[in-house]
Amino acid sequence: MRPLHFFLLTAFLVAGLFVLSAQEEGEEEDDEDEYIPIESDWSGVSETLYSRGDQTFCMGLGLVKPLFYADRQRGYSETNMKLGGLGSLGWNYFLGPHLFIGAELNGMFAATIGENMYFCLPMGFRTGYQFILYRFEFPLSVLAGFAPQTHKERSYFGFFSKAEGSAYFRFNSNWSFGINTSFWWVPQWSGKERVDYDGNVNIHGFFWAFSLGARYHF
């Protein structure tokens, strides 16, 4: 092969490799442009949606069903109360993605079969754990505190506790809406003798509550 022919063949091969390399680089850049990541507005809704310091303000309206009374002399007995109403205000503080503490104030009333009114104002501190599934949030909590109670001319101030489960839908970053259901234990421990009882008897009241709730997140 003559030197001139060899030189031309070598130059042609080098030029061809250069063109192929430039074409591959251009295709890679096009591929990168095609796969632009798309971020959803709700990409943050996951198990790590909450962090330490996040808070919620809670409001609820609903109904209370007096279930029964229990004591050591009579066993279980009717409450002689009708379906009542309920309102609540609460506050939660998250210690992490799921665990929270808080406080709550409730107000409930129910009429007796004699058309007298029973009023109860439960208040206390709670702790709970919240599960998250997409936009749905499921807080479970227990609360312990005190409850002033009045019925006709009688009044009582004593212990109160409840266990609650809820289901909420996260409407946007600020608000969520859902339902709450809870089981109340309202005991009356008294050192005084009770009418129609043999001496002083501790009476335990049990209630079931259902409410619609709204939470503001901040």
C-beta of residue 184 within 8 angstroms of C-beta of residue 122:
yes
One-character DSSP codes across 14-45 = HHHHHHHHHHHHHHHHHHHHH------TTTT-
Which residues partner with 91 through β-bridges? 57, 103
Predicted confidence pLDDT, tens digits, the chain (218 residues): 554 444 445 555 545 555 555 555 555 544 444 444 444 444 444 456 889 999 999 999 999 999 998 887 777 888 889 999 999 999 999 999 999 999 999 999 999 988 899 999 999 999 999 999 999 999 999 999 999 999 988 899 999 999 999 999 999 989 999 999 999 999 988 766 666 666 667 889 999 999 999 999 99
- Asked if the structure places residue 160 within a domain, the reply is yes
- Asked if the structure places residue 40 within a domain, the reply is no
- Asked if the structure places residue 115 within a domain, the reply is yes
- CB crowding 32-61: b at 16 or more within 10 Å, else e: eeeeeeeeeeeeebeeebbeeebebebebe
Number of domains into which the chain is organized: 1
Backbone angles phi, psi at 117, to 5 degrees: -105, 135
**Predicted structure pTM score:** 0.73
- Asked if the structure places residue 104 within a domain, the reply is yes
Give the tokens for residue 38.
């798309």
Sign of the four-CA dihedral 53, 213, 182, 137: negative
C-beta of residue 74 within 8 angstroms of C-beta of residue 60:
no
**CATH code: domain of residue 197:** 2.40.160.20
Task: Choose among 82, 68, 158: nearest CA to 117.
Answer: 82
- Asked if the structure places residue 136 within a domain, the reply is yes
C-beta of residue 130 within 8 angstroms of C-beta of residue 93:
no
Range of the domain at 82: 55-217
- Asked if the structure places residue 94 within a domain, the reply is yes
Give the tokens for residue 67.
């279930």
- Asked if the structure places residue 69 within a domain, the reply is yes
- Asked if the structure places residue 14 within a domain, the reply is no
